[in-house]
Amino acid sequence: MANLLWLQGGACSGNTMSFLNAEEPSACDLVTDFGINILWHPSLGMELGDNLQRLLRACVSGEIPLDIFVFEGTVVRGPDGTGAWNRFAGRPMKDWVAELAQAAQYVVAIGDCATWGGIPATAPNPTDSTGLQFLKRQKGGFLGADFRSKAGLPVINIPGCPAHPDWVTQILVAVATGRAADIRLDDFQRPKTFFASFTQTGCTRNMHFAYKVSATEFGQRKGCLFYDLGCRGPMTHSPCNRILWNRQSSKTRSGMPCLGCTEPEFPFFDLAPGTVFKTQTVMGVPKDLPEGVDKTGYIKLTVAAKAAAPKWAEEDIFVV
């Protein structure tokens, strides 16, 4: 049995919503099949008031062994470093987070807010919000760059706005069933099993990406969303086209550009106001190129692809 505690800081509850919709495995499977004991969760916890405080104190003291501490939302430090703008169970949430992170075997940050600050930490960051171990791209965050949980791992970051439900439950199962050592993390402490590939990996529009055929409107079935509509699929690390949303589809499959929500720069990526969903160009060349491709390479590739494009690539192959 692995004890799991889930708390929520500066957040919209989107990751909780996502988690409750998990399918492989589902939130119920965690309890019935994988031996996870959910001590408390903002939407599922039964304890309130003094009882909840007692439970949390017991986790901090070790009286109740805390195997997995899950945090959703930012750590709110304002005003003036007091954390008073996010009080929970009788004290600033940040104080609970500091103590529970030290007590836990594993700490898992769910969603952009908990991983690197997300929307609340976007400048001017009025609540002085931060992620657990990153603030945007900068390592450190609330717990500090050197933080290691009792099991010796840094915070396991599962980003996304929100994170896909199955990314969450699959990592929780791996940890709870003693396979945490198998989880390899990238430089941003994201599990590589999900975040080494790109949103573009498995996108149904790859043929049109290859032949440089552009979709110019949302929902259009023909064309790739990179060239006009600002799709960040080629430079965003996510498995959104490998592990589909609702087991059905993904943003890009349905004609909506990837916003890059699993990357620390989300949501703004230095975009000028009013330019979201518009590919930004500098002297006719996209400002953000597919990861690992430089300007010269991109131009060469595009020229060759255009020249080689078959006739069907220009036509609408999606007939009813």
Partner 1 sequence: MGEEAVRRRIQELLAGGLATEVCPRADTPESVQGLIQRLREEAGEDLEARLVLAGFTLNPVLHGGIEQACETCMYYLVHRRWCELPELNLPVEPRWSCRLWRI
* Interacting residue ranges for ligand SF4, rule: CB under 6 A: 160, 199-200, 203, 205-206, 209, 224-226, 231, 233-234, 236, 238, 240, 250-252, 258-262
131 binds, among partner 1, ligand SF4, none (CB under 5 to 8 A by kind): none
Shortest Cβ distance from residue 244 to ligand SF4 (Å)? 10
Q: Determine, following the binding rule CB under 8 A, whether residue 280 of this chain makes contact with partner 1.
A: yes
Provide the residue type at 261 as one letter.
C
Report the residue from 48, 123, 282, 320 that binds partner 1 according to the rule CB under 8 A: 282
Beta strands in 184-286 (DSSP E): 281-282, 285-286
Shortest Cβ distance from residue 207 to ligand SF4 (Å)? 8
233 binds, among partner 1, ligand SF4, none (CB under 5 to 8 A by kind): ligand SF4
Shortest Cβ distance from residue 81 to partner 1 (Å)? 39
Question: For ligand SF4, which is the closer residue by CB, 156 or 224?
Answer: 224
Provide the residue type at 106 as one letter.
Y
SS3 percent helix, strand, coil of the chain, rounded to 5, is: 30, 15, 55
Q: Which residues contact 12 (CB under 8 A, 6 or more apart)?
A: none
252 binds, among ligand SF4, partner 1, none (CB under 5 to 8 A by kind): ligand SF4
Name the one range near partner 1 by CB under 8 A: 38-46, 49-57, 150-158, 209-217.
209-217
46 binds, among partner 1, ligand SF4, none (CB under 5 to 8 A by kind): none
CA dihedral sign, ordered 257, 269, 75, 110: positive
Helix (H) or strand (E) holding 69: strand 68-72
Question: For ligand SF4, which is the closer residue by CB, 103 or 229?
Answer: 229
Per-residue tokens: 143:
């717990």
Which residues between 297 and 316 bind partner 1 (CB under 8 A)? 298-299, 302-303, 306-307, 309, 311, 314
Question: For partner 1, which is the closer residue by CB, 181 or 303?
Answer: 303
Smallest CA-to-CA distance from 27 within 19, 18, 35, 15 is with 19
2-38 exposure pattern, b = at least 16 Cβ within 10 A, e = fewer: bbbbbbbbbbbbbbbebbeebeebbbeebbeebebeb
Smallest CA-to-CA distance from 163 within 8, 13, 15 is with 15
CA torsion, points 233, 234, 236, 240, in degrees to nearest 10?
50
Shortest Cβ distance from residue 50 to ligand SF4 (Å)? 40
Question: For partner 1, which is the closer residue by CB, 28 or 304?
Answer: 304
Shortest Cβ distance from residue 218 to partner 1 (Å)? 14
129 binds, among partner 1, ligand SF4, none (CB under 5 to 8 A by kind): none
Q: Determine, following the binding rule CB under 8 A, whether residue 284 of this chain makes contact with partner 1.
A: yes
Per-residue CA distances from 275 to 12, 84, 188, 200, 269 (Å)? 25, 36, 27, 21, 11
Classify burial at 118, counting beta carbons within 10 Å of its beta carbon; exposed 0-12, middle 13-18, buried 19 or more.
Answer: buried
Using CB under 8 A, list all residues that contact partner 1. Answer: 212, 214, 216, 227-228, 272, 275, 278, 280-286, 298-299, 302-303, 306-307, 309, 311, 314
